[in-house]
Structure 1
Amino acid sequence: MLEKEFKLFHFGLIISVLNFLLFHFPFFGFVVNHVDVDYKSFNGILLIISLVIAMLVANFFVIYLFFYLSRRFSKVLFSLFFLINSIALYFVTTYSVIIDESMISNVFNTKYEEASSFFSIKFLVYILFLGIVPSIFIIKAKLIKPTLKRFSITSLVSLFFLIVLVFANASNWLWIDKNSKTLGGLAMPWSYSVNTSLYFIHEKQRNAKEILLPTAKITDNEKSVVVLVIGESARSENFSLYGYKKDTNPLLSKVDNLHHFKANSCATYTTAGVKCILEHTSSNELYEILPNYLYRNNVEVIWRTTNWGESPVHIKKYETRDYLRPKCEGEDCDYDGVLLSGLKEEIKASNRNKILVILHTSTSHGPTYSKKYPPRFEKFKPVCNSVDLGKCTQTELMNAYDNTIVYTDYILNSIITDLKDLKEYNSTMLFVSDHGESLGEKNLYMHGVPKSLAPKQQYEIPFIVWVSDSNKQLKPANNTILSQNNVFHSVLNFLSIDSPIYDENMNIFKK
């Protein structure tokens, strides 16, 4: 078959049909499950048939156009599309993700260590049979180029056909518009092609210039330290502090002066969630973030991280896992416990009265939950050890995730213990997660679903606060749901920092 010559028209149809059959079961599964009318009704059937034909014709038109203009370039391009399609389909079917702009952001902000945890035999099978095999056909195919007249007629007929389909579905425009983000995120290869372009355009706009905040002033000389722990993929639903039936907070539940609040994340992915925690207001602009702002205004700032995805941090003490590991001893040093190594001593060595410590953890990030904590914290068994979460039982998956929360409980309690030893300081610890996590509910896994569509498990997060001085009171919760932006203003209040952008309504502490 590879030795046979194909007319470009026939080749375009073959590639369009292959692309449709191999990569669009999730797309039409969503359509069937979410169409506002019965999909067996006339209007439902019309919508589904129209989307099928529109997808085939639109893809045919693009393939036909590209191969007419340049066969060599197009063979490379569409072979690459099939390879990326196979990878994208693996994540869509395995983790129920949608390839929108936020997911593209996750891709470009993921390091090899995290990405490698997704590799599996199933992943390789997808690449081989859905990516490499079709790509070989595309590269080897011999094509007969049509005349300009034939090309023009075919192109015009295709465009006319698409226009007719659009107007024939006038009654379904509102439904298509309502679900356009999801439909666009499941249409291959246009989901990642378009959203990658949008991602870089928006990143360039956001990073064009960091907007500096007005100068702040420290108003007293009392020694104060704030430890802000940014959690990763921790959902409040699995914290016993929030009513979870399993005892995932055996240590924190016994700590005095500990408070927990209901809270929602700004987004369901790390870069946006961390940005929101560190900014004074939710915005698409790149405002000066909390560590940069306080460092510029004479506060000692220490950033320790086993994670990534934060906005640019401009401070002296930015300490990564690789920096901390050689100075750390014990089993915890291979996990987020490394962030605590020598921390108390570093705080005591500071010559500043006001100190902010930010610990950016990675404890509950999937899919390898069972590898995120030392073996002694495997409290709940059996656990899921597969990266293909759908192959694990719900009990195994939940146990593995719950063990990460038990380890988080240990880390937070250790921080509090260290802060209690710093008796000369007024101290507080704030734990806020970047976003939540899906664990098989509604057949969704991990995170990254657009917040407008996401289940509550992906945005209901823990917001836990401990204070050293019982006289330092917190405002009553009164069923208030906090946002991640409360962090910025609460830190300013605790460190006695006066700023024109301070918002008392966003502060959780009493004056």
Structure 2
Amino acid sequence: MFTLKNNFKILSFVLIISCLNFLFFHIPFFNFVFENINYKSFSGVFVIASLVVLMIVLNAFVFFLLLYLSQRIGKFLLVLFFLMNAIAVYFVATYGIIVDESMIGNVFNTNYDESSSYFSYKMVLYLIFLGVLPSYFILRSKVERVSFKRFSILSSLTLLFAFVLVFVNASNWLWIDKNSKRLGGLAMPWSYVVNTSLFYIHESKKNEKEILLPDAKIMDNEKAVVVLVIGESARRQNFSLYGYSKNTNPLLSKTQNLFHFDANSSATYTTAGVKSILDHKETGDLYEILPNYLYRNDVEVIWRTSNWGEPPVHIKNYQDRAYLQTNCKEEYCNYDEVLLYGLKEQILASKKNKILIILHTSTSHGPSYNKKYPSQFEHFKPVCESVELSNCSQSELINAYDNTIVYTDYILHKTIEALQELDSYKSTLLFVSDHGESLGEKNLYMHGIPMSIAPKEQYEIPFIVWLPEDSSKKIKKFDMLSQYHVFHSVLNFLNIESPIYNEEMNIFKE
């Protein structure tokens, strides 16, 4: 077995570790820098050189500090950094993600089914060669301790050097500030260390008791049902209803009284996108969301989900995939069509006149698009079968994704058919996606890019509405809708009066 015979001086050791950290994990960081700066100019060269030196020196300083305080804890944290860095840089390199606070939120809101779909042998190789092997080196190395005096001198000189280097780059601060979010999301290990801290700080604020909305009043006894289907990663440009060249909406395109609107999501990740669909307005506060509000005001609310990431839902009938699969034995029960199992019967069994049903799908969530639909919906071939999306041709990737839209088309069609059979109810269907999806455009995959720099593929979403042909309701004309239109439109359709109702955000008219 390989052993290290020589001791390392602490300064030499932290510089070696810092250089390894730089070489192994910062190719995406400097790819971004080279793409966004004139590296042929003196100023560009100076910025790049300064970033290299600062990254090595400041990381070495932090590693030095950790090892000085406790070698055991310091080595443990260094090993943890290298293992986490290896996984993080795999996802950055494979899917083009940025490890910012929203992406950390995605990680913590991912369940086993989704996380296991990302497994690949390439990820294992990243983990072994960039994580495990350096960790072995760290654990086997013997590092000499240093006196407090030497620690103080070296620390002071390092910080002084870093301060001077930052100061002489004053003319480039604007460029660095402009790109700080992207740079910070690619700097390992601080991208996930800092953003995990920020995520938990903000989550602790979200866990405060929700702010109740003013009481609402049901204005009539007419039976009415609204089905709100929350799409997952469904981008507008791949719906043939919106002019896409491939027929991804063979059923909806033939449906009478179907309307579709351009819409933009308020975020590029599920938790924020779903919250916006359920909120009455754009706000950073934790207000009562639509299902909780209506349930508290005597509306029957049924939530059926094959997904996750929604705000806290306080209703009686919350039914996840496992619950729905208990008695469902059909082949489709392994897919999102399970959300429709027994739905009509559940509506008819309700003792209340006003009903809101929310179907939270997962149909178009990657990376395993080809596993999100039954085989008979594979209209477009060949399809991408790898979780490493960059290994597939873009046409294979888009084919697999387009098949999920065909399946979504079918689910919406089946839902409309069920509503058409409810003669005693006034009914409508709303379909709104939580966000869009990147499919290799600009070398980006999936979603989660910060809204400030997100490509349109990740926020341009469909907003589809169906009404029965004999409905007393009509649809207003809009050039663009937002996710916040859902809340007020549902109140209007169910004829619920509320002090927070905003007519301008309602899509229906008599």
Do both share a fold (TM > 0.5)? yes
Cα shift at 1:153: 1.2
The 1-side partners of 2:192 and 2:168 are apart by: 28
Q: Answer whether contact 2:484 2:505 (CA < 8 A) is retained.
A: yes
Other structure's SS at 1:6 match: coil
Q: Answer whether contact 1:206 1:284 (CA < 8 A) is retained.
A: no
Superposition pairs for residues 401-412 of structure 1, below 5 Å?
401-412=401-412
2:498 — aligned with what?
499
TM-score of the aligned structures, taking structure 2 as reference length: 0.99
Cα shift at 1:147: 1.8
1:104 — aligned with what?
104
Other structure's SS at 1:428 match: strand
2:214 — aligned with what?
214
Superposition pairs for residues 159-170 of structure 1, below 5 Å?
159-170=159-170
1:316 — aligned with what?
316
The 2-side partners of 1:334 and 1:323 are apart by: 12
Cα shift at 1:326: 2.2
Cα shift at 1:329: 3.3
1:475 — aligned with what?
476
Length, aligned pairs only: 507
Q: Answer whether contact 1:268 1:447 (CA < 8 A) is retained.
A: yes
2:84 — aligned with what?
84
Q: Answer whether contact 1:486 1:507 (CA < 8 A) is retained.
A: yes
Q: Answer whether contact 1:265 1:461 (CA < 8 A) is retained.
A: yes
Other structure's SS at 1:106 match: helix
The 1-side partners of 2:274 and 2:135 are apart by: 39
Give the fraction of aligned pairs with identical amino acids, expressed as a percent: 67
Gaps of 5+ in 2: none
The 2-side partners of 1:250 and 1:329 are apart by: 27
Which amino acid counterpart does residue 26 of structure 1 have in structure 2?
P
Q: Answer whether contact 1:327 1:341 (CA < 8 A) is retained.
A: no
1:187 — aligned with what?
187
The 2-side partners of 1:41 and 1:204 are apart by: 46
1:510 — aligned with what?
509
1:12 — aligned with what?
14
Superposition pairs for residues 377-388 of structure 1, below 5 Å?
377-388=377-388
Q: Answer whether contact 1:306 1:360 (CA < 8 A) is retained.
A: yes
Q: 4+ residue runs of structure 1 moved beyond 4 angstroms?
A: none
2:26 — aligned with what?
24
Q: Answer whether contact 2:232 2:433 (CA < 8 A) is retained.
A: yes
Gaps of 5+ in 1: none
The 2-side partners of 1:434 and 1:165 are apart by: 43
Which amino acid counterpart does residue 96 of structure 1 have in structure 2?
G
Other structure's SS at 2:474 match: coil
Other structure's SS at 1:327 match: coil
The 2-side partners of 1:2 and 1:266 are apart by: 54
C-alpha distance after superposition, 1:303-360 (max 9, x if no partner): 0000000001000000111111122232211100000000001001101100000000
Which amino acid counterpart does residue 150 of structure 2 have in structure 1?
R
The 1-side partners of 2:286 and 2:186 are apart by: 29
Superposition pairs for residues 227-238 of structure 1, below 5 Å?
227-238=227-238
2:463 — aligned with what?
463
1:363 — aligned with what?
363
Asked if 1:342 corresponds to 2:342, the answer is: yes
The 2-side partners of 1:73 and 1:470 are apart by: 68
The 1-side partners of 2:483 and 2:95 are apart by: 26
Once superposed, what is the RMSD of the aligned Cα atoms? Answer: 0.8
2:420 — aligned with what?
420
C-alpha distance after superposition, 1:78-102 (max 9, x if no partner): 1001000000000000000000000
Superposition pairs for residues 26-45 of structure 1, below 5 Å?
26-35=28-37, 38-45=38-45
2:74 — aligned with what?
74
C-alpha distance after superposition, 1:418-441 (max 9, x if no partner): 000001111000000000000000
Q: Answer whether contact 1:270 1:309 (CA < 8 A) is retained.
A: yes
Other structure's SS at 2:97 match: coil
Superposition pairs for residues 137-286 of structure 1, below 5 Å?
137-286=137-286
Q: Answer whether contact 2:426 2:471 (CA < 8 A) is retained.
A: no
Which amino acid counterpart does residue 92 of structure 1 have in structure 2?
V
The 2-side partners of 1:3 and 1:384 are apart by: 49
Q: Answer whether contact 2:61 2:158 (CA < 8 A) is retained.
A: yes
C-alpha distance after superposition, 1:46-82 (max 9, x if no partner): 0000000010111011011110110000111110010
Which amino acid counterpart does residue 142 of structure 2 have in structure 1?
K
Q: Answer whether contact 2:332 2:338 (CA < 8 A) is retained.
A: yes
Other structure's SS at 1:5 match: coil
The 2-side partners of 1:372 and 1:354 are apart by: 32
Cα shift at 1:470: 3.9
Cα shift at 1:146: 1.5
Which amino acid counterpart does residue 422 of structure 2 have in structure 1?
L
The 1-side partners of 2:498 and 2:5 are apart by: 73
C-alpha distance after superposition, 1:265-285 (max 9, x if no partner): 010000000000001011121
Asked if 1:93 corresponds to 2:99, the answer is: no
The 2-side partners of 1:436 and 1:32 are apart by: 28
Other structure's SS at 2:508 match: coil
Cα shift at 1:131: 0.6
2:441 — aligned with what?
441
Which amino acid counterpart does residue 410 of structure 1 have in structure 2?
Y
Q: Answer whether contact 1:257 1:470 (CA < 8 A) is retained.
A: no
Cα shift at 1:193: 0.1
Cα shift at 1:4: 1.8
The 1-side partners of 2:313 and 2:471 are apart by: 33
